[in-house]
Amino acid sequence: MRKTVRIVSAAFLALLFLYAGVDKAFHYGGFVKALGGYVLVPDGLERHLALPLILGEILVGAGLLLKAWRPPAALVATAMLALFTAALAVNQIYRPGAECGCWFTLTLGRATPAHIVQNLILLGLAASIWLDERVARGSAPEESSQLVPRRST
């Protein structure tokens, strides 16, 4: 049961990251504009941050779907969500009502405290996937060494 919950959670988070990355790619100009509204993004840097963030979301989403890549992808997802949450929180204080740049196709919304809560929940999910994957791999050493051949001494 625990393995099933871990796989379903990883698949959910993967689809979320994949959708978010592809959605931002299709609405690239709007995403660059939304990044420019963040207090923590220095003026002019939004154009240079947009593509790496989009590619990062897509790669994290793909990584969460692949068993061998799931632990590092979950760790990167945790870091990205922590960064996104911090940026939203700072904006909520210094520039309330700015575009969040989260979901262009579904809704181009303004950042609200609900977005911060949503990100904290997703952050907890990503961290739990990472921790659970570490525990699962720690109890089965033969699985954790599939990508790295063992050296004989």
- Give the ranges where the chain is alpha helix by DSSP (H): 2-26, 28-36, 46-65, 70-94, 113-138, 141-144
Q: Which residues, at least 6 apart from 141, have a Cβ–Cβ distance to it below 8 Å?
A: none
pLDDT digits (tens, 9 = 90+) for 4-32: 888 999 999 999 999 999 999 999 999 99
What string of DSSP letters covers 35-70?
HHT-TTS-TT-HHHHHHHHHHHHHHHHHHHHSGGGH
What is the reported pTM? 0.84
How many beta carbons lie within 10 A of that of residue 17, not counting itself? 27
Whether 72 contacts 63, CB under 8 Å:
yes
- Give the mean model confidence (pLDDT) for residues 93-101: 88
With 70 as the cut, is the pLDDT of residue 141 above it? no
pLDDT tens column, 47-66:
999 999 999 999 999 999 99
Q: Which residue has the tokens 């790669």?
A: 59
Q: Give the number of C-alpha atoms closer than 13 A to the C-alpha of residue 152, restricted to the C-beta side.
A: 0
